[in-house]
Structure 1
Amino acid sequence: MKNKALLLVWSALVTIVLLASLTFARQGTGLIGKDFSDSNDMKWQLDEFYDVIGPSVLNPINIEEAKKKITVSDDEIERHRYRYGTLADQLSNIHDQYAQRIADAKDAGNELLQSSLIEERDMKLEDIRKNFEQDGHVEAKIRKGKEKVLENYLNEVKNKTYSLHVAYKLKNVETGETFSKGDISKPAVYKKNFNANSNYFKASSLPGRYSEWTTTYVKYYEDDYVSDEEITAMANPVQSFEGVVIVPKAAFEKGGALYAQYKDFNRGKYGMYAFWALGLLALIALLTVMKFRKEWVTGTPIADWYSDVKIDVKAAAFFMSALILVESINSKSYNLLNFFMQQRLESWVIWLGTIFFGGVLMTALLAFQLVNSVERWKREGMFAKDVKNSFTLQFLRAIREMFLKRSIGVQSFILLIGFFLAGIGFVGGFIAPFLFVVYIACVLFLGLPALYVFIRRSAYLNRIIVATEQMASGRLNEDIKIEGRSPLADHAKNLNNLREGVRVSMSEQAKSERLKTELITNVSHDLRTPLTSIITYTDLLKDETITPEERAKYVDILDKKSQRLKTLIEDLFEVSKMASGNLELHKQRVDLTQLLQQALAEHAEEIAESGLDFRTTFPEDMLIAYVDGQRWWRVLDNLIVNAIKYSLPGTRVYVTLRKVGESAEFVVKNITKYELGENVDELFERFKRADTSRHTDGSGLGLAIAQSIVDMHGGRMKIDLDGDLFKVTVSVLTK
């Protein structure tokens, strides 16, 4: 609280210094050592006297002589003649004016009124006819009107008075005629001599400073007017006068004509002296006991809040505060002298209130803003950060982003300019009726169509927003309607694509969850089956009563189940390494024909026992490809084993290796013993078997491993199903 009080005191002292300095610069030379006779008010009254004395006293225009110089032009005659329309229009208008009144007088039986109205009507009708028949008739009426206007004007000029109490004695240099008022021998506060040495007084017939007012007065009077050229032609030549003009000292004394003004001037002058002394004391205090301390405006809750304000808002607030302070000090410096002269309590209350708000508070606010901003920007990088986060840069970025879609940016810009010009046009329509007609045309043919397009686009945007909200809530079945070819239509199309992608993604996610569950179930089953057998037969071997034949049989079963479990785990690790990308390939030149022959030869015994008829087709020459021989052999082996296990007994299996373009293509076709679904992709999934009962040997990873190896070689593996016909095609580049 103490800091706030000290800040306000400091601000008040600064305001006093500023106001005192400005008033001293503006009014010091006009007040220090000066009297009322040297004041601007006195000079203004003397100028008024010299301006009025010529046309009203020394060199007035003779009214009768001026009337003789009035002229009437042909244009004025025509303008007067057709002032109320054509002859027919004017005659008809007069008849209409009197018809009802004459009829009413007749109905009332008032013959005198009736005859008077008829006579008056006929006189006006005759006057109108003469207007169109005789130019002289019209000219006489115009001249009479001008004479009346001129007479009123010249009488007004002659009767002009002035407020200054002046005594003078002036003699016309050419005619010797003397004009005087008051006693010029009395003591004077102002005295001016006019003679050949100090220049004669030049008396004009027309007022100078009131020429605009008098011209306006002369020009308009019942549509008859005297032009500027005519008035100038009627003026007398400028006359030269010699003599003396004084303002008596008695006019400044109590009871004199200028005593009140003299007293007010002195009161204001000494009041300004006192205020300038106060300003000097305030300056001394600011330099000694009231030096500014930044603790007055820092470390407060409002200072913490101000630190988070955007820098351009700070700049705008600082500019407005400075503007209010400058305007307040500037305006108050002009009328401070008047306040000292008047000394009215209500005026002082208003003046002090405005100077407190516009001066003291704005000074305190400027100090607060300046100190807190400087303290903040002393920290490294803070100024650049504030500039980066400013509304101005955000606005500029928004303008740039508004034109990311050029058509939307251009349309929005045109609409903004259009609405701005519409406001200007609406105001201009009240100034000039013609502009209002243009404005209405622009509204009908430009504004309303643009507004129609804007409203339609806004409605379409709202529909897109509502549809997007529905998508966000999970309703993905309904497409957004695409209207036209605007950027909004493109946006709707993209949202539809996104909706379809989300729908597919959700479907895939559901499928993935289902397959994950199946995977866990299948892995558990495939691992548990051999493990259960191993546990069971291990317990049986613990029985000492079993025969050696039984023991050998149990050991053989344990060996098979262990190998089965080992193969399953190895395949699982193999797939895991492939999926994680940790499996390295060692590519070299490999003859794929020889590799396939070796794979078939290794399973020749199983093929013979299966009862299947393998039909093979090989290229006549070597088919060389750069592959990892061990891994590629695994692909061939898995596909051959898969055909042996799942082909219908007694059917043929076709194995083909051929070169197709730049690729080697390996194809296996067989008739499956199990019914397969239509979803081919599921066959590539881990632990997926054609034997859903899972009674056959195998890990269910054969096709998945083969697919991964092919993918690592940049090849392609494809499965086709046609009923029970199962076909696998593997291709890899030979170069």
Structure 2
Amino acid sequence: MKNRLPLVVWAALVVLVFLAAFSLNREGHNIIGRDFSESNDLAWQLEEFYSSIGPTVLNPIDREEAKEQLTVSKQEIEEYRYWYGSLPAQISNIHDQYDQRIEEARAAKNETLQEALTKERDIKLADINKNFEDDAHVEAKIRKEKEKALQQYLNEYNNRSYSLPIAYEFTNVETGETFSAGDVSVPSIYKKQFNSAKGYFKAHSLPGQGDARNEWTSSAPHGDSVTISNEDIRAMANTVQSFEGVVSIPKAEIQKGSSLYSQYKTFNRWKYGSYAFWFLGLVSLITLLTVMKFQKAWVIGTPFDEKYANLKIDLKLIALILTGLVLFVYIDSNSYFMDLFKYPRLGRFGSWTVTFLVFGVLPTILLAFQLVHGVERWKQKGAVEADLKDTYFIRFLQALQTMFLKKSIGVQTFILLIGFFLAGVGFLTIFFDPVFFVLYSFCVLFLGLPVSFIFVRRVAYLNKILVATEAMAAGRLNEAIKIEGKSPLAEHAKNLNNLREGVRSSMTEQAKSERLKTELITNVSHDLRTPLTSIITYTDLLKDESITPEERANYVDILDKKSQRLKTLIEDLFEVSKMASGNLELYKQRVDLTQLLQQALAEHADDIAQSGLDFRTDIPDDMLMAYVDGQRWWRVLDNLIVNAIKYSLPGTRVYVTLRKRVDVAEFVVKNITKYELGENVDELFERFKRADTSRHTDGSGLGLAIAQSIVDMHGGNMKIELDGDLFKVTVTVPMK
């Protein structure tokens, strides 16, 4: 008990601080620095006066003229005419209402009633017939209802009275007509001037003008509602009139015994009571920061410590959230409690005190208890991790995961188990009451047998899948499993078919890989052996001392070219090997791709001129900057330009384009191929793959492979497209 009283006082002070802060935020702008003349209650009553004085006194409409402005549309006539159906249907309905009653009056020999009913029926039949014959007849009915609606609404609005004891004097700016009530010259608590400098008072002639209401309705005799349209309202409204003058509330009206005295007194109680409570909140805050600082010992060592520590962490979290929610809802809903000062009652203060203790102080104590114990638990190394692993939620998820590894099957199995259980219970109930036998038979026929049929079909389908799976395991991949329905087994069969296709694709890719490996070895051997053979041959020729100096110089030149050719092949092969192994490093920096492409084209200007090709370029005038390894990216451009020069059909055009697309730079080369290419252009990326399959042209066959590797290392994309003999290479690289 020693620590309990300080804790209760501390919690009460905390709640008072929050209540004061919330109420100050919500009501402060309505109270601080304001007097009764600026109160919301008075403002609402003044608004009521201003909205009603125009239609009722200053600018009322002429009701008879307004009625003349009402219109009836063709659509309204048709809706009224066919409200109860077609002419035959309405006539039949009238006969159904009266014929039996007339016959009963005749049988009772009550001639007076018989004649009255017959006359009433004939009048209604004649009226219905006239409705379908004469539009003017229907229009007159609708107009009458609209006049009634207008009259009712104007009467209702004009009978309204404003509750404030207001004195006013208004003069029409145009006509000079003056309207007044009371004495506006006496001392006042509220006074508002209307003139050219401060603005004239605008008096509307109709209720609803300038606000949300713009349609009037009235219940018609046939059950429908007649609506006065916006067009009718605009037609009957007077022009808005401007008035100058003054509106005031005499100061005498807030004296004791006057009509506003009660409101004036209530506002002041509310105002100064709020000031007092906000001051109390400030004192409470200062106390909390000085003499009543929170102490951990207040909530430790209680009889609840051990019980709370044994709770799972998810239960603790739920309790913490609920406690905080209760406290927040209490403070949020009671921050308007300043009404207690407006209408003070001992019972209301007693009720507020009880709720303050139960829903304010108690949740604050519990919240402090939970937070302190949570922080202490957090400080213990590894304690929170252990608590998280031991939660009810984690245990539930683990159990659920084990049971529902395949959710749909788990759900169906769970339902099936419940079904079997209920079937057993149902079977036992038939021995207690024969009525249950009927119900049980119904369930067996319409629930049990269909479910059993579905279950047997699923088991049969499962056996088919197992047999097909065994065939796949044996290597027989030709026949797919038939997909039946949309059950989990059908989904499993679909997955097995996808697996079968994956295995077949893998085997196809493996065969392709073996073929490409063989071609690679053949191509490498051929491309390395050709220059090497030439080197050996011309070296032997140089050993002959009888050759002339001209021949010797020619042989040396050939040896130099072949040596350079062999050197290029070996360097390209090493570079591709380094790229494939990931040992090649990039040194990225900001590079102008426009300038780099112009340099590459300029370096091959002589080769382009000798090739007989017409190079058409589309290059930006401005710089196109990107973060790339300039030396490596130049190699990409060089390889693609050289590729176009070597393999383009002589006399054709080659299109080279560089442009910006959003946040990437795009480089495109298009040309007409000299050689016929196969359909699978992706193989051109393979090492030592050349369009010249006879391998009579110079080149290592590594150009596109090297370019592809460099582009990939830059995070870009390289794509080859082939349309007949049109060969297109597109390279994109991120600019950032």
Same fold (TM over 0.5): yes
In structure 1, the residue matched to 2:364 is: 363
Equivalent residue letter for 1:147 = E
Q: Match of 1:393? A: 394
Pairing 1:122–2:122 present: yes
The 1:464/1:301 distance shift into structure 2, 3 A limit, reads: farther
**TM-superposition CA deviations, 1:186-236 (whole Å, max 9, x none):** 111000000000010111223459955674655888522212332233222
CA distance in 2, matches of 1:188, 1:15: 42
Query: Which residue of structure 2 aligns with residue 459 of structure 1?
Result: 419
- How big is the shift at 1:77? 1.0
The 5-angstrom pairing of residues 311-710 of structure 1 reads: 311-334=313-336, 336-409=337-410, 411=411, 455-460=415-420, 484=456
Name 1:301's counterpart in structure 2.
303
CA contact (8 A) 2:216 2:227 kept: no
- Letter of the aligned partner of 1:145 in structure 2? E
Q: Residue in 2 aligned with 1:276?
A: 278
Is the aligned partner of 1:30 residue 2:12? no
* Amino acid in the other structure paired with 1:226: I
CA spacing shift, 1:487–1:37, aligned 2, 3 Å: farther
Aligned position for 2:241: 239
From the superposition, tell whether residues 339 and 232 of structure 1 become closer, same or farther in structure 2 (CA, over 3 Å). farther
Q: Decide whether aligned partners of structure 1 residues 207 and 395 sit closer, same or farther in structure 2, where only a CA change above 3 A counts.
A: farther
Are the structure 2 counterparts of residues 380 and 347 from structure 1 closer, same or farther at C-alpha, using a change threshold of 3 Å?
A: same
- What is the root-mean-square deviation in Å for CA atoms of aligned residues? 3.0
Runs of at least 5 residues in structure 2 that lack an aligned partner in the other structure: 426-451, 463-736
The aligned amino acid for 2:110 is: N
Q: Does 1:131 align with 2:131?
A: yes
Give the equivalent residue in structure 2 for 1:706. none
- Give 1:461 shift: 7.2
- Closer, same or farther in 2 for the Cα pair 1:179/1:385, shift >3 Å? same
Three-state SS of the structure 2 residue aligned to 1:289 is coil
Distance 1:27 1:319 in 2: 28
**1:383 to partner: Cα distance:** 1.2
The partner residue of 2:266 within 264, 267, 270 is 264
Give the Cα–Cα distance (whole angstroms) in 2 for the partners of residues 208 and 40 of structure 1: 22
Distance 1:81 1:454, change over 3 A: farther
Q: Which moved more, 1:294-303 or 1:202-211?
A: 202-211
Q: How many residue pairs align between the two structures?
A: 434
- Once residues 182 and 142 of structure 1 are traced to their aligned partners in structure 2, the CA distance between those partners, rounded to angstroms, is 44
Distance 2:288 2:332 in 1: 21
Assess, with a 3 A threshold, how the Cα gap between structure 1 residues 303 and 228 changes in structure 2: closer, same or farther: farther
Deviation per CA, 1:660-679, whole angstroms, max 9, x where unpaired? Answer: xxxxxxxxxxxxxxxxxxxx
Q: Choose the corresponding residue for 2:229, options 227, 240, 246.
A: 227
CA contact (8 A) 1:36 1:265 kept: yes
Residue 159 of structure 2 is matched in structure 1 by: 159
1:395 Cα deviation after fit: 4.1
Question: 2:225 aligns to what SS in structure 1?
Answer: coil
Partner of residue 190, structure 1: 190
> Where does residue 711 of structure 1 map in the other structure?
none
Classify 1:403/1:260 alpha carbon distance in 2 versus 1 (closer, same or farther; 3 Å). same
Per the alignment, in what secondary structure is the counterpart of residue 2 of structure 1? coil
- 1:205 counterpart SS class: coil
SS of 1:309's equivalent in the other structure is: coil
Letter in 2 for 1:363: T
Q: For residue 37 of structure 1, report the CA deviation from its aligned partner.
A: 0.9
**Is the 1:172–1:239 Cα contact (8 Å) retained in structure 2?**
yes
Whether the 8 Å CA contact 2:37–2:189 is kept in 1: the answer is yes
* Distance (Å, rounded) in 1 between the aligned partners of 2:46 and 2:377: 60
Aligned to 1:41: 41
Residue 191 of structure 1 aligns to a residue whose secondary structure is strand
Counterpart amino acid of residue 346 in structure 2: L
In the TM superposition, what is the alpha-carbon distance from 1:286 to its structure 2 partner?
1.9
Instruction: State how far apart, in whole Å, the 1-side matches of 2:30 and 2:209 are.
Output: 24
One-letter identity of the residue aligned with 1:327: V
User: Counterpart amino acid of 1:367?
Assistant: A
More displaced 10-residue stretch of structure 1: 215-224 or 386-395? 215-224
Aligned-partner Cα distance in 2 for 1:267–1:251: 18
Q: How has the CA–CA distance of structure 1 residues 309 and 216 changed in structure 2, closer, same or farther, with 3 Å as cutoff?
A: farther
Query: Aligned pair in 2 of structure 1 residues 227, 208: CA closer, same or farther (>3 Å)?
Result: closer
Looking at structure 2, the residues matched to 159 and 138 of structure 1 have their Cα atoms a distance apart, in angstroms, of 32
**TM superposition shift of 1:252:** 1.0
One-letter amino acid matched to 2:205: S
What amino acid is the match of 1:331?
S
Relative to structure 1, the CA distance from residue 236 to residue 99 in structure 2 (aligned partners, 3 Å threshold; closer, same or farther) is: same
1:35 is matched by which residue type in structure 2? D
* 1:9-158 alignment, distance < 5 Å: 9-158=9-158
- Provide closer, same or farther for how the CA distance between residues 463 and 30 of structure 1 changes in structure 2, counting only shifts above 3 A: closer
Aligned to 1:314, what secondary structure does the other structure show?
helix
1:458 & 1:305 partners in 2: Cα distance? 37
Could you say what secondary structure the match of 1:17 adopts?
helix
1:489 to partner: Cα distance:
12
How far did residue 369 of structure 1 move? 0.6
Answer yes or no: is the 8 Å Cα contact 1:219–1:227 preserved in 2.
no
Are the counterparts in 2 of residues 171 and 243 from structure 1 also a CA contact under 8 Å?
Answer: yes
Residue deviations 1:392-426 (CA, integer Å, cap 9, x gap): 333443453344234424x46xxxxxxxxxxxxxx
| Superposed CA offset, 1:78-133 (max 9, x none) | 11111111212211221222223333433444323322221111111100010111
The letter for the 1-side match of 2:249 is V
SS at match of 1:185: coil
Larger C-alpha radius of gyration, 1 or 2?
Answer: 1
CA shift, 1:290, in A, is: 2.2
Mean alpha-carbon deviation: is it higher for 23-32 or for 381-390?
23-32
| Contact 1:201–1:242 (CA under 8 A) maintained in structure 2 | yes
Cα shift at 1:140: 1.0
- CA shift in 2, pair 1:386/1:464, >3 Å: farther
Q: Residues 232 and 393 from structure 1, CA distance in 2 versus in 1: closer, same or farther, beyond 3 angstroms?
A: farther
Q: Per the alignment, do residues 407 and 18 of structure 1 end up closer, same or farther by CA in structure 2, a change over 3 Å counting?
A: closer
SS of the equivalent of 1:112 reads helix
**Equivalent position SS for 1:170:** strand
> Larger deviation: 355-364 or 108-117?
108-117
Q: 2:162 aligned with 1:202, yes or no?
A: no
Question: What secondary structure, in the 3-state scheme, does the structure 1 residue paired with 2:335 have?
Answer: helix
Q: Distance in 2 between matches of 1:394 and 1:227?
A: 66
State the partner residue of 1:3: 3
Does the Cα contact within 8 Å between 2:217 and 2:227 map onto a contact in 1?
no
Q: CA 1:103–1:18 in 2, change beyond 3 Å: closer, same or farther?
A: same
**Paired residue type of 2:198:** S
Distance change >3 Å, CA 407–CA 224, structure 1 → 2: closer
Q: Secondary structure, in 3 states, of the residue corresponding to 1:34?
A: coil
For 1:209 and 1:269, the matched residues in 2 are separated by 36
Deviations 1:258-308 (A, max 9, x none): 111111111111211221222223223323332212122112221211112
Could you say which residue in structure 2 is the equivalent of 1:587? none
| TM-score, with structure 2 as normaliser | 0.55
Q: Deviations over 1:338-393 (max 9, x none)?
A: 11111123333333333322211111111011011111221110111112222333
What runs of 5+ residues in structure 1 fail to find an aligned partner? 413-452, 466-480, 491-735
CA 68–287 in structure 1, closer or farther in 2 if over 3 Å, else same: same
Percent identity between matched residues is: 53
